[in-house]
Each structure stands twice: as C-alpha cells, then as structure tokens.
C-alpha cells in the first residue's frame, strides 16, 4: 500500500539542489518590471497622486494611478448581515487608509529604474487623524475610515445556557483582559506575480495559495472570460496564509500587462511584506470565568474585539479572526454556560488576513490563560482543573456551546500522556525547591482542539460566499504508462507532492514512482476549488485525487478487459501492466491502452469533505 509507506519526499530534490522554479526565476522576452509607490501616511485625503515627474524619466514604460487603470475595487462577498466588508481599491483613490497602501504603479525596463522613478512620484495628501486602536475606532465621534460606513464591520455573538445564574452561584470568579499583538508572516519568498498577454486573455504566474480564486477574480475585475485567464503556481517559498488572498498588486500587474501588451513582473521586497501584506492576530478579550470550589467550569463570558486593519483581505473579508476565534473559545472543555460578543473594526493599519491557525491560536490562548487564572484563584492544581473538565470519550460526538460538532477524541488521554512525558509531578517538586533557593522555574500546560478539513457548509454558515469549501483534482494516464496529477491546492512547503502521489498511487494500484504531481495550473483542466489553507489539502484535494484516480483505474480495467477479452473483475494492476489474475501471459501495458485513446484516460473530480474534523492535543 502506498499510503503509510516510508519514502523520501518527492519534492525535495529541486529545492535542495537549487533547481526549483519560483516566480522570479521565470524570464520571458520583453518583460518589464513594476514597483509600487505606497502611502507614507496612515490616513489622509489623496488630493493628487503626483505621478507626472516619474513619467518623464528615461526607461519608464508607464506610470499608473487609480484613474489610469479604472479597475473595480475588490469587495469580499459576504451574506451574513452582521458582517459589512468595505471595498479595497486596487490603487488608492480619494483616500489612503494605511501606511503602505499602493497609490501608484511604475513600470520600467527593470526594477531598479522602476524604484528610482517611484522616488519621483510626489503624492499630495491631506493628513487625517489615524485610528490605530480598535476601541477608539468604534467610540462615539471617531472619524469614519470609509465615509458613510461604520468603522465596526463585524458585530455578532453567541450564547448558551444561563450565564448570569452560573456566575451568581459560582464560588470562584476571575476576570482578565487578554491582548494579542499584531504580527506579520515572513515567508522566505515574498509575494510575486508575472503576467503576460495570451490570446484574448492572460497567462499569470503567481506565488499564491489560491490560484483558481485568483483566476476568477482577475477575469471578473478585468472583464475577461475565465477560460481566457490561466494562472500557474510554480514553486512557492512559503505561504503561511499570507498568500491565501487576492491582492491589489496582482490585479494591477495583470491590468498593466494587458494594456502594454507585454509581460510585467513584480516581486515583493521585505519592506513591502512588512508594510502591505496582510497581518494577523491583533485582538483584545475581556473575559470572566466562573468555577465551582471543586474545579468544575461553570461559565465564561467574553467581549472581544479584532483589529481588522483598513480592509478585509479578498475573498475572506473582515470576519475571519472574529468568527474563527469566538467559535473555538470553549476549547476542549465541557462548558454549558457561555456568552461571547465578537466585534471587528477597521483601523488605519495594514489589513488582517489568514495566518497559521487563524483564530484557533488566540482562542487557545484565552481559554488556557483563564484555566491558569482559576487555578491561582482557587489554589487547585491547573492540570487537575483541566482533567475534571475535558470532554470525555463517551460524550462524543459532542456539540460545543458555540455549536462546533466535535467528532471524536480522547482528550484526557492526550493530557495524561503529556503530563507523563513531562514528568509533571516531579517538576512541581523541582519548582518548589527552586523557589526556596530564590530561583524561578517555569511550567506550562495547554490543551487545544481545532477544526480542519473545513467544507463548503462551514464557509456558507459564516456567509463567506466567495470561498467554495471544496477542491478539485485532475489525473491523467500518459502514453508512457505514467500518471500526472493536478490539484487546486498548490504546494507551499508542506509535502503536497509526496502526499498526493501516495494517495493517487494507492487508488490506482501503482507505484509512487510512476506519479508526477504537477504545479497547480488552472489551464490543466476545468477545475474549481478553494486552495491551500486551513489544513485542508489532504482532506479536500486528497479526496478529489482519490475519486479521480479510482475512476481512472476502473476505466483502465474496462479497456484492458476489452483488449484481453476478460471480465474486469478478473484483472489486476501489476506495476505498468494489467493482467488476468493467475495467467501471467495474459496482460496488456497501461502505456498501450493510453496510446490507443489518450483522451479517454484523463479524468477530474471534486471533493467536499462531508464533515469538519477536530484534531486535538
């Protein structure tokens, strides 16, 4: 069996020998390069982009302000009435809303000239009060970052049980304000895009986690037929969620390529990455927690606010942090009385978006800090409080107070295993000894549960209508007897090629060495899918690879049955041959079958995971 077998990662050779191909390694004839001029202030009225000086510089091919491109803004679609995402212009129009927002694009013979010409752009900006504190942004009298719209873009909540009665009867009550700072993802390769005209449309290479969404978005905003836009994701030097969005820079570069009739490339530098790529995790939680004197959790009440930044990243929008975090606040614990108000507000900072374990990490931080606070207040051991409140094996499937359908697990066993390996009781004794000697010895415990393999139902419940929730795969048998696989989930360093090769080989009944997993490419087949994020690839794209490979195997067996004049049930796949079981001489090569009818052996499938699963530790 291919799945479960030990093998070297299939993708590592090019990465280790320097022969991998990233966007910046792709060179097309007549390519010109773009540089973006970004707002130097966080909030202001853009009176004039000031691009005329740059246009006069030798070597400059074009300079674009928003009025030159006239492209529709990116508006993340959302059907939830509690969520109101603002639109993000491709280049700033009347206002700039964060320091680093692109307001002009310079295209020149090379990046050096483009950067030098960018220095000649002199935007006139009337500075306005910047709002960088989310509480200030929703206070009465705060200036509107998007005129005519409230700065509060998410205001929702959930409740279960009788929270007030639980607090009134509790013997232990603690209150804490917990803050998480803003952070930036740091992939080794920044964002990068190369676009070139092709036929009546475009071919685009992008260091993206969502190539199929990028294709659809480019087609929509540029007025092209989706079939005329081809997006390829080559090797990607890290993603971490920051590349799981469609960015204004990608749209602007593609628009320039169409207007100029030649390839245009842009590669993000580190300063741009820190200033203008999506950031994450700035949240504040005001939390009350209640417990009985014997360590039973009784209630939790949370008022949380998320700093969304100036815009919602496309297509996720403005609710990603607020809804994901609030949904997982009960954690792996039995909690009947729970209430949360979750808000997100725009501020004059870089937009927030996906970043590793978006929401789950902060939810874990909150419920685990509150367990520790309860332990200190009550004098009970923190591990014992967790032990008494973890959901038991016999309680699964379990629906949490926030309606998360936990599928199964043995949370208690995971805790005990960790405590045993840690030598928990011995370490507690060593802590006491260290304290007596005037030293501090730290000891921390954390339990968590998170959703993975999220499906279309999850995104629909959140109102995120721009995210499919399913993924696709295309599998083809080649005339040389090998197989090729494409999926809608590009590799970003997590071993996708090895995983998908194993899945395909297992379903086809062949060796992994006969499988080539290709770059994600919207031109390979008519596929649609979500992309690579939220720990979904093995479940969603893997399911699609399984479906397409099994169907292809059945088609190969049927063709071999006709050729050998045997029943399909009497045949077996043996390496590169399909033969009659027990008759070594009666066989036909896969290559011969494919050569006779190549198009017959190219199949696609989609897979929408039937349910979300909840790993834990």
How far apart, in whole angstroms, are the C-alpha atoms of residue 170 and residue 174? 10
Angstrom CA distances, 381 to 238, 293, 436, stand at: 41, 12, 19
The tokens describing 483, both together, are 């197989």
Residues 417-453 have pLDDT tens digits of 999 999 998 988 888 889 899 999 888 999 999 999 9
* Three-state SS at 345: strand
pLDDT value at residue 432: 86
pLDDT value at residue 2: 82
- Give, in degrees to the nearest 5, the angle at Cα 35 between 34 and 41: 150
Query: 4 falls in which pLDDT band (50, 70, 90)?
Result: confident
How far apart, in whole angstroms, are the C-alpha atoms of residue 16 and residue 21? 12
Q: How far apart are the first and last CA of the chain?
A: 28
Query: 496 falls in which pLDDT band (50, 70, 90)?
Result: very high
Tell me the percentage of the chain whose pLDDT exceeds 90.
96
Q: Is the confidence at residue 529, as pLDDT, over 90?
A: yes
Residues 533-551 have a mean pLDDT of 97
Residues 30-52 have pLDDT tens digits of 999 999 999 999 999 999 999 99
Tell me the percentage of the chain whose pLDDT exceeds 70.
100
**Out of 10-19, 373-382, 425-434, 595-604, least confident range:** 425-434
pLDDT value at residue 222: 98
Q: Is the confidence at residue 332, as pLDDT, over 70?
A: yes
Residues 24-34 have a mean pLDDT of 98
Angstrom CA distances, 182 to 308, 318, 349, 350, 362, stand at: 10, 15, 10, 10, 12
Q: Is the confidence at residue 458, as pLDDT, over 70?
A: yes
Dihedral sign of CA atoms 593, 597, 601, 602 in order: positive
Residues 67-118 have pLDDT tens digits of 999 999 999 999 999 999 999 999 999 999 999 999 999 999 999 999 999 9
Q: Identify the CATH assignment for 458-607 out of 3.30.365.10, 3.20.20.220, 3.40.50.300, 3.40.50.1970.
A: 3.30.365.10
Q: Is the confidence at residue 601, as pLDDT, over 70?
A: yes
pLDDT value at residue 1: 61
Residues 151-195 have pLDDT tens digits of 999 999 999 999 999 999 999 999 999 999 999 999 999 999 999
Query: 585 falls in which pLDDT band (50, 70, 90)?
Result: confident
Mean of the per-residue pLDDT values for the chain? 97
Residues 254-265 have pLDDT tens digits of 999 999 999 999
Widest pairwise Cα distance in the chain: 86
């Amino acid at each position: 069996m291919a799945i479960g077998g030990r093998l070297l990662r299939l993708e590592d050779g090019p990465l280790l020998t320097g022969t991998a191909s990233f966007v910046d390694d792709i060179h097309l004839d007549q390519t010109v390069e773009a540089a973006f001029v970004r707002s130097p202030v966080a909030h202001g009225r853009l009176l004039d982009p000031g691009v005329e000086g740059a246009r006069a510089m030798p070597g400059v091919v074009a300079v674009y302000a928003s009025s030159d491109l006239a492209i529709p803004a990116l508006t993340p679609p959302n059907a939830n009435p509690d969520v109101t995402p603002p639109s993000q212009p491709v280049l700033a129009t009347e206002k700039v809303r964060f320091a680093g927002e692109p307001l002009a694009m310079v295209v020149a013979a090379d990046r050096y000239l483009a950067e030098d010409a960018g220095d000649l752009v002199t935007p006139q900006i009337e500075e306005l009060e910047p709002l960088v504190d989310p509480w200030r942004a929703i206070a009465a009298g705060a200036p509107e970052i998007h005129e005519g719209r409230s700065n509060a873009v998410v205001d929702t909540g959930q409740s279960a049980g009788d929270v007030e009665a639980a607090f009134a009867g509790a013997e232990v009550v603690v209150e804490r304000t917990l803050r998480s700072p803003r952070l930036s993802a740091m992939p080794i390769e920044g964002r990068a895009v190369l676009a070139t005209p092709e036929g009546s449309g475009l071919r685009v290479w992008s260091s993206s986690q969502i190539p199929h969404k990028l294709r659809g978005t480019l087609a929509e905003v540029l007025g092209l037929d989706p079939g005329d836009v081809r997006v390829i994701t080559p090797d990607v030097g890290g993603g971490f969620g920051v590349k799981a969005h469609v960015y204004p820079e990608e749209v602007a570069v593609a628009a320039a390529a169409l207007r100029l009739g030649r390839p245009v490339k842009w590669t993000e530098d580190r300063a741009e990455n820190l200033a203008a790529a999506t950031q994450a995790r700035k949240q504040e939680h005001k939390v009350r927690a209640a417990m009985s004197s014997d360590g039973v959790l009784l209630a939790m009440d949370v008022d949380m606010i998320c700093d969304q930044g100036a815009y919602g990243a496309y297509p996720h929008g403005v609710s990603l942090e607020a809804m994901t975090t609030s949904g997982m606040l009960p954690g792996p614990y039995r909690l009947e009385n729970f209430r949360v108000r979750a808000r997100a507000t725009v501020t004059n900072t870089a937009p927030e978006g996906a970043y590793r374990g978006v929401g789950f990490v902060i939810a874990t931080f909150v419920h685990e800090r509150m367990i520790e606070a309860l332990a200190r207040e009550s004098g009970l051991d923190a591990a014992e409080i967790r032990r008494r409140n973890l959901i038991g094996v016999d309680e699964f499937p379990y629906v949490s107070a926030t309606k998360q359908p936990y599928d199964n697990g043995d949370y208690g066993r995971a805790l005990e295993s960790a405590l045993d390996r840690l030598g928990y009781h011995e370490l507690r004794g060593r802590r006491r000894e260290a304290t007596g000697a005037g030293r501090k010895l730290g000891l921390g415990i954390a339990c968590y549960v998170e959703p993975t393999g999220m499906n279309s139902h999850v995104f629909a419940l959140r109102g995120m209508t721009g995210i499919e929730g399913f993924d696709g795969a295309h599998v083809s048998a080649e005339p040389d007897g090998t197989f090729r696989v494409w999926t809608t989930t590009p590799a970003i360093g997590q071993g996708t090629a090895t995983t998908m090769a194993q899945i395909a080989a297992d379903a086809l009944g062949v060796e992994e060495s006969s499988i080539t997993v290709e770059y994600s490419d919207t031109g390979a087949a008519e596929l649609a899918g979500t992309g690579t994020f939220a720990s979904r690839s093995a479940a969603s794209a893997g399911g699609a690879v399984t479906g397409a490979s099994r169907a292809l195997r059945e088609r190969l067996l049927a063709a071999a049955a006709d050729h050998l004049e045997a029943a399909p049930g009497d045949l077996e796949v043996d390496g590169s041959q399909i033969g009659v079981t027990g008759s070594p001489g009666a066989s036909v090569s896969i290559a011969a079958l494919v050569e006779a009818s190549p198009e017959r052996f190219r199949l696609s499938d989609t897979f929408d995971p039937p349910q979300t699963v909840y790993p834990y530790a």
